[in-house]
Structure 1
Amino acid sequence: MVLTVAASQFTVGWTNDLLDADRDATVGRTDKPLASGALGRRTVAVAAAVAAIATVALALTTNPAAAFCAIVALVSALLYDWPLKSTAVSVLPYAISFGALPAFVVLALPGAPAPPAWLVAAAALLGAGAHFANVLPDFADDARTGVRGLPHRLGPAGSRAAAVGLLIAATVTLVLGPPGPPTGVGLAAVVAAVVIFILAWHLGRADERAGARPVAAFRAVLLVALIDVVLLVTSGRLV
């Protein structure tokens, strides 16, 4: 499972950098080896292809149902890289790929039941929220290079609102989804997520007024995602 997910991440990341090399060069992304010329495109293309083949091969070592979920997640993520990144449905690959990930993990476990709907829904909400927050620091660069996904159409304020709503919904789903009453830890996690996003909202507005890259929302997403992972692991309940 670990190797499958790692290989899929290599595939998607390298493919994304390959497709965005010209855009990254245009906006001066010196942290990108392809944009700076430190790495050849053919090398990255071959590496991405090998990683894609490895993803499928590794996934098939589990079982057909789990492998199907892993392949769906990979194909969906690659469709985001091209051509959906600049469309009004750019959020769909994030929701599909994130939702398929826990389904793959659960199905790959020997004798495990089918993944519960709340688990897949929470992961999909987390992925959709991450998409809106992930774009926030890059609005200016994306405008220069013609990227117009759903977050760009909603604008910074709309994207912040979407990210906050979706990620809080993911946290609530993880708290209320498992059988039994919500725990005190779960309720505290919901409160913490709300407080984190209130702070991130105000910090993001301050960044915009100062002309700085609005990274507060993205950092908030990482923190709430960590909270959600802890909720999932500590719940220990799937059905």
Structure 2
Amino acid sequence: MLYTRRRGTAVTLVLTAHPVRALAMAAALAAAAALAGRSGNEVALVALTVLTGQAVLGWFNDVLDRQRDHDLGRPRKPIAMGWIDPGTVAFAASCGVLLVVPLAISNGTAAGAAYLGSLACGALSDLFLRRTWLSWLPWAVGFGLLPAFLSYGGWGGGVHGGPPTVAMVVLAALLGVGLHFAATLNDLVEDNQSGLRHLPLRVALKIGAVPLLWLTTVFVALVLAGLVIAVMTVGLIQG
């Protein structure tokens, strides 16, 4: 379904924030925090922190991609469609950064540093690496930092919890790579036309898009199964 009329600024900002992805990430990490035995206040803080951080990444991405989205005629990109000024979105992203930093640190100093490092990886991907065969790297590192965000998490500043288990870090990093492949599948043709040469596109050009879809699906399913097993055996926090 195509959007046929201009929305208000608030609604348009929400659409520009990649809301489905932001809500999915916030819900997933909040659920993980709840399963780890965190209090209700801490779970809510995790959700709010992640939701804010993902919104910042969404705004940042759409501001950077506004010309490419316009050239490709993408109907679900408000900036490219002229529904909102890119300066307004950039201002919202700046305000989001000012909000997400104290939110992240409120989870604990070490946890906050881990989450902010994960966001930095997302920004690095948008700025540079997503056009290259190293496009998988910031996804691996960014997701690999999320277990530390949870394992060191608590309420207020300082250091809480402990270091995450190696298995959780490795599996989270692998999940990030798998989700990177999954996120690019719908845009392979357009990315090829735009001159991007990220790793999923390079693989698709070698084996085809349909085999890549099946391989990605199986890979993500196996990693998710591994995460469930790791949670039930080694757990989140070392020792």
TM over 0.5, yes or no?
Answer: yes
Aligned equivalent of 2:4: none
**Match of residue 38, structure 1, among 79, 83, 87:** 83
Q: Percent sequence identity over matched residues?
A: 35
Separation in 2, partners of 1:180, 1:139: 38
Asked if the contact 1:12/1:74 (under 8 Å) is kept, the reply is yes
Q: What is the distance in 1 between the residues matched to 2:224 and 2:53?
A: 25
Q: Cα deviation per residue 1:95-150 (whole Å; 9 max; x = unaligned)? A: 12222223202211365332212222222211110111111110111122222211
TM-score (norm 2): 0.70
Q: Secondary structure at the match of 1:7?
A: helix
Match for 2:181 among 102, 126, 132? 132
Q: Distance in 2 between matches of 1:16 and 1:166?
A: 26
Residue 36 to residue 178, structure 1, CA distance change in 2 (3 Å): closer
Structure 1 contact 151–158 (Cα < 8 Å) conserved: no
- Alignment match, 1:61: 106
- Would you tell me which structure has more helix in proportion to its own residues? 1
> Match for residue 163 of structure 1?
216
What does residue 230 of structure 2 align with?
177
Instruction: Map 1:138-149 onto structure 2 (within 5 A).
Output: 138-149=187-198
Secondary structure of the structure 1 residue equivalent to 2:197: coil
Residue in structure 1 matched with residue 24 of structure 2 by the alignment = none
Contact 2:163/2:237, CA 8 A, preserved across alignment: no
Contact residue 178 and residue 219 of structure 2 kept, 8 A = yes
Q: Which runs of 4+ in 1 moved over 6 A?
A: none
CA 1:168/1:92 → structure 2, altered by over 3 Å: closer, same or farther? Answer: same
Q: How many residues align?
A: 185
Alpha-carbon contact 1:74-1:97 (below 8 Å) kept:
yes
In the TM superposition, what is the alpha-carbon distance from 1:74 to its structure 2 partner? 0.6
Name the SS for the 1:12 alignment partner.
Answer: helix
The answer to whether the aligner puts 1:153 opposite 2:202 as a matched pair is yes
Look up the SS of the partner of 1:108 in the other structure: coil
State the 1:159 CA deviation. 3.7
Give the residue type in structure 2 aligned to 1:171: L
Gap runs ≥5 in structure 2: 1-45
